[in-house]
Amino acid sequence: MDARVLNEVNYPAAGDRGGTPAQWVRTVDVSAENVVRIFGTTPALHGVSLDIGAGELVALLGPSGSGKTTLLRILAGLDVPTSGRVLFDGEDALKLTVQERNVGLVFQNYALFRHMTVLENIGFGLRVRPRIRRPSRREIRRRALELLDFVQLTGLEKRYPSQLSGGQRQRVAFARALAIEPRLLLLDEPFGALDAKVRRELRRWLLEIHTKTGHTTVFVTHDQEEALELADRVVVMSEGRIEQIGTPDEIYDKPNSPFVYSFIGESSVLPVRVEQGKVWLDEHPLDLAAGAVPSGPARLFFRPHDVEVGNDLPGAIPGVVQGLRRHGGARRVDLEVGGRGDRVEIELPADYSLNLSGRVAVLPRRYRLYPATTQTNLS
C-alpha cells in the first residue's frame, strides 16, 4: 500500500544516505494460513488463518493460553509453525530467518540491553548490520538521536536502562524496534508491565506513532479495553482458535459467541428457555424476541448498563436487590433473579433510589441469546 511520508522526523529509508525528504520503509500485508503449532503433544494453535492489511493496527486479544503470543512469535520468526503458511506481501515468510524478516518486536518487559546506553540500545540494530548495509557510525548516531526525539525522550541518550522509568524504557524499546526500519511491527503486551496511568498515556502515544509511521502493527494483549481502544481490527482468540475477527464495534456490539460476549466488556448472564419464539424465565414470559434461537434452554447475555429499570415493566426480569456498589458515575446493583438464586449485575444512575432487599424489574435494551449447548470457556 502507500508508503507514508513522515515529515516530523527526517528519517531516511535503507540505502538513502542523504538528507532528502524521508519516508518509512514499505510496510507489508501479512497472512497466516491455517497455522498449527503443537508443543510436544499440546496444541497451542489449531489452524489459525488471518489476513492483515498493510498499515493496519490489529490486536490479538485473548486470555492467557489462548495462543496469541505463540501466533505473534511465529510472525516474528522466533517460533516455527508445525504446519501452515505465513506470508508477507504474498511471499513465504517462513523461508526467512528471524534476522532476515526485518520485524520490529517490542517485548512486555522491554528486553533492553542493560549494559548499553539508551543511544547504544537504539542503534544496536544498525550496528550489527553486515558492513555493506551498515550506515556510518555518525549516521547511526544521528538516526538514533532522531528516533529518541521521535519517542519524546530527547536528552536521555546517555542514560542506562536502569536509570529510566518503565514508560521511558518501553519508549526506548519502541525506538530500538523502529530503528531497523521494520516491515512489520509486533508488540507483545507492550503496556502490560506499566501502571494504569502510564498505560493510558502510552496508548495514545502508540496511536500517534502508528498514524505517523503507518507500519503494519500487530499487538498482543489480554486487556480488552486496550484492544478496543487502539486497534483497527480485533482478533479474539481462545484456546488456540480465533473466535471472532472484527472492528471494535463489531466485536463489542455483535459478539458471535458466548465466549466473546463474556470476554469483551462486562456482561450478565441468565439461564432462560426458548419456546415458540418467546423467551421464558422459569414460568415467566419475557418481553424479548428469541430471533433465530431454537427452542430449548438458552442463555441470555446483556451488558449491565444496557437495561431499563422499573417496577411495572411488563415482561421484565424481576429481581431482589442483594448489593449496591458505587462504580464511577453510576451504581452497580446485584440482583437475585428467579428461584435458583441466579445473580445478574446491572448499572443504574447513582441517584436512582433503591434499597437493599427492594424489588426491581429489569429489561435488557440490548441482549444476545445463545443456545445453552454452545460452550463458553469463561463462566
Partner 1 sequence: MAGARGLALKRPSALPGFGLALGFTLTYLSLIVLIPLAALVLKSATLGFAGFWEIVTGARTLAALRLSFFTSLFAATVNAVFGTIIAWVLVRYQFPGRRLLDAFVDLPFALPTAVAGIALTALYAPNGWIGSWLAPLGIKIAYTPNGIAIALIFIGLPFVVRTVQPVLEEFDRELEEASATLGANRRQTVFRVMLPALLPAILTGFALALARAVGEYGSVIFIAGNLPFISEIAPLLIIIRLEEFGYAQAAAIGTAMLMISFGILLLVHLVQAWQRRRFGR
Q: Is there binding between residue 220 and partner 1 (CB under 8 A)?
A: no
Using CB under 8 A as the binding rule, the residues of this chain from 126 to 155 that contact partner 1 are: 128-129
Q: How far apart are CA 208 and CA 247, in angstroms?
A: 19
Which secondary-structure segment (H or E) carries 103? strand 103-106
Among 68, 143, 171, 176, binds partner 1 (CB under 8 A): 176
Q: Is there binding between residue 161 and partner 1 (CB under 8 A)?
A: yes
Q: How far is the CB of 114 from partner 1 (least distance, A)?
A: 5
Instruction: State the CB neighbour count (10 A cutoff) for residue 95.
Output: 9
Q: Is there binding between residue 95 and partner 1 (CB under 8 A)?
A: no
Q: Are 7 and 20 in contact (CB under 8 A)?
A: no
- In a 3-state reduction of DSSP, which class is residue 209? helix
Q: How far apart are CA 330 and CA 275, in angstroms?
A: 35
Pairing of strands 359-364, 241-246: unpaired
Q: Is there binding between residue 255 and partner 1 (CB under 8 A)?
A: no
Unique residue bearing C-alpha cell 447475555: 301
Among 113, 165, 201, 295, binds partner 1 (CB under 8 A): 113
Q: How far apart are CA 52 and CA 58, in angstroms?
A: 7
Q: How far is the CB of 131 from partner 1 (least distance, A)?
A: 12
Instruction: State the CB neighbour count (10 A cutoff) for residue 204.
Output: 11
Q: Is there binding between residue 167 and partner 1 (CB under 8 A)?
A: no
Q: Report the candidate in 325, 313, 311, 272 with the shortest Cα–Cα distance to residue 295.
A: 272
Q: If binding means CB under 8 A, how many residues of this protein chain bind partner 1? A: 28
Q: How far apart are CA 34 and CA 73, in angstroms?
A: 16
How many Cα atoms within 13 Å fall on the side-chain side of residue 154?
4
Among 19, 41, 64, 115, binds partner 1 (CB under 8 A): 115
Q: How far is the CB of 166 from partner 1 (least distance, A)?
A: 13
Using CB under 8 A as the binding rule, the residues of this chain from 52 to 91 that contact partner 1 are: 76-78
Nearer to partner 1 (CB atom), residue 146 or residue 347: 146
Q: Is there binding between residue 165 and partner 1 (CB under 8 A)?
A: no
Q: Is there binding between residue 96 and partner 1 (CB under 8 A)?
A: no
Nearer to partner 1 (CB atom), residue 177 or residue 236: 177
Which segment (24-32, 110-118, 216-224, 246-254) binds partner 1 by CB under 8 A?
Answer: 110-118
- Please give the residue ranges that form the binding site for partner 1 (CB under 8 A): 76-78, 98-99, 101-105, 107, 109, 111, 113-115, 124-125, 128-129, 160-163, 176-177, 179-180
